[in-house]
Structure 1
Amino acid sequence: MRPVTTRPIPRVLSIAGTDPTGGAGLHADLKSILAAGGYGMGVVTALVAQNTQGVRSVHVPPIEFLTQQLDSVSDDIGIDAIKIGMLGNAEIAHTVAQWLERIDAPVVLDPVMVATSGHRLLDSEAEEVVTELAREATIITPNLPELSVLCGKELTTAEDALHAAQEFAAESQTLVVVKGGHLSGPEAGNWLVSADSVLAHTPSPRISTKNTHGTGCSLSAALATKLAQSGSPEAALEWSTRWLHDAIAAADHLDVGKGNGPIDHGVWLR
């Protein structure tokens, strides 16, 4: 597992796609890193034309430009944690994986493979590369459909998800966050699972709102920041889960967009 070096203000790099409305992707990551007490940096994998009602188009810059972005950060600035989100295709995933071989910082991977709706976001080749990348991460934060892809089995209950996560953690020597928000019922907390056991569970009551755009991006970015700040995956998950609950609870007051709006990343800062 990658070493974790703690800093009061960790320097956290997000590698992700964009969201011009600010609710998800790199834009949400930077807000989450700031809210968690870190200094955020960003490398763009894809330029996404989207809003709260859906994605309109995706532009992928040349792979050489991705490499230049990654090198420009790591050649100059110490990196205390990395959050990886949307990779988009196998070539991007390969490029990020090769760059990571030179970096010692802990990695939180949000394996953007399957939308909550069940729509597959990657082709089979890209899914294989992201699955291999997950084995190199410190912590992965899949939604339930993504965990199903990683484990090769359909998961519908918390018990199934926890058991599958423990199997994947044992095989890959990583930690897995099982997110209760993608399960049914009044409980929407998160579990941290290792190869040996469930290390922690932070309960969180489910909130009735349509404004949950970017929750997965935001949780993983906050988690990476708090991991680099505290050195404790358990403490990082507890802080991130509680912050995310309050950010969702305050989301309706933002009045952003006509569709599924963003969470309020700044709720605790205010």
Structure 2
Amino acid sequence: MTDLGLPTAAPGVTPVRVMTIAGSDSGGGAGIQADMRTFALLGLHACVAVTAVTVQNSLGVQGFQEIAPETVAAQMHSVVSDIGIGAAKTGMLASAPIIEAVGQACVELGIGRDGAVPLVVDPVCASMHGDPLLATEALETLRSTLIPLATVVTPNLDEVRLITGIDVVDGQTQRAAAYALHELGARWALVKGGHLRSSDRSPDLLFDGTDFHEFDHPRIDTPHDHGAGDTLAAATAGALAHGYTVPDAVDFAKRWVTRGLEAAYPLGAGHGPVNPLWRVSES
């Protein structure tokens, strides 16, 4: 049995609640489905605000339908006013109006940098297949509205390039990207190195404007990594909801997603998902 877990509530006791504000993945590998799997397997109660419904499978995204921005915000208000949450994370937000609605709701509900509830911003811009999941004109809204609210922002290298214009190819450019993301207003910036294919390592770099923290794990040799970013951000949010510091939460999440990559499985004719279900087989 593994010791890679978070404290869990006794039967009949309300567990820690966490919210995902993201899109639905019909293939079940990423999006709110990946978030909810991670939350459940970490002993958390998952609440959701659905931002979009995608049409996708293991081969890619064939289309998506946005949810009305006011409905996205209303989901957030409904949950927080009644159930309460210990942390929140964002994923696919699809458009500038949805980003604006989520940002405004976060301010009103005390979620994010200056609120009581930590916010993990996973700035989903495109799928792993390169299918766009965020309108180009929404990038500036992401930079100006949501990233400044982030307790921690967690882009992959493709997203870093879209957001900052920096092409990360080595440690020096990874540090430059972390500086640029922090300058946009995030309290902590995590520049993930999973897409640094030239390396046999997967180096992630966390920066708070003063100190760097490095999380360097061996690269897992698998083509089945769908939902890795969602899973890492969800595990980070779960750890923050339990009161972990940001460096400790990221360290926990990095180890969690690495274990999920080791247990990843094929699905359909394309890329299979990161597999947090290893936790069930080892418990």
What's the TM-score once normalised by structure 1's chain length?
Answer: 0.90
| Aligned counterpart, 1:269 | 280
Report deviation, 1:114.
Answer: 4.0
- Of 30, 33, 55, the residue aligned with 1:49 is 55
| Aligned counterpart, 1:26 | 32
Moved more, 39-48 or 201-210: 201-210
User: SS in structure 2 opposite 1:88?
Assistant: coil
Q: Is the 8 A contact 2:39 2:238 kept in 1?
A: yes
Over the matched positions of the two proteins, sequence identity in percent amounts to 34
| Aligned counterpart, 2:138 | 126
More RCO (CA 8 Å, sep 6+): 1
| Aligned counterpart, 2:211 | 197
* Deviation sequence 1:143-181 (CA, Å, 0-9, x none): 112112322333322320122212431451520111121
* Deviation sequence 1:8-35 (CA, Å, 0-9, x none): 7431100000012211000000111223
| Aligned counterpart, 2:113 | none
Matched residues in 2 for 1:81 and 1:178: separation?
A: 21
| Aligned counterpart, 1:79 | 85
Given the alignment of the two structures, is residue 113 of structure 1 paired with residue 125 of structure 2, yes or no? yes
What amino acid is aligned across from residue 190 of structure 1 in structure 2?
A: D
Q: Is the 8 A contact 1:112 1:121 kept in 2?
A: yes
Gapped runs of 5+ residues in structure 1?
Answer: 1-5
- Of 194, 199, 202, the residue aligned with 1:188 is 202
What amino acid is aligned across from residue 271 of structure 2 in structure 1?
A: N
Number of equivalenced pairs? 262
| Aligned counterpart, 2:255 | 242
Q: Cα gap change, 1:118/1:174 in structure 2, threshold over 3 Å: closer, same or farther?
A: farther
Given the alignment of the two structures, is residue 147 of structure 1 paired with residue 160 of structure 2, yes or no? yes
Aligned-pair RMSD on alpha carbons? 2.0
Gapped runs of 5+ residues in structure 2?
Answer: 1-6, 10-14, 111-116
Moved more, 138-147 or 7-16: 7-16
| Aligned counterpart, 1:63 | 69
| Aligned counterpart, 1:256 | 267
Matched residues in 1 for 2:147 and 2:8: separation?
A: 25
What amino acid is aligned across from residue 208 of structure 2 in structure 1?
A: S
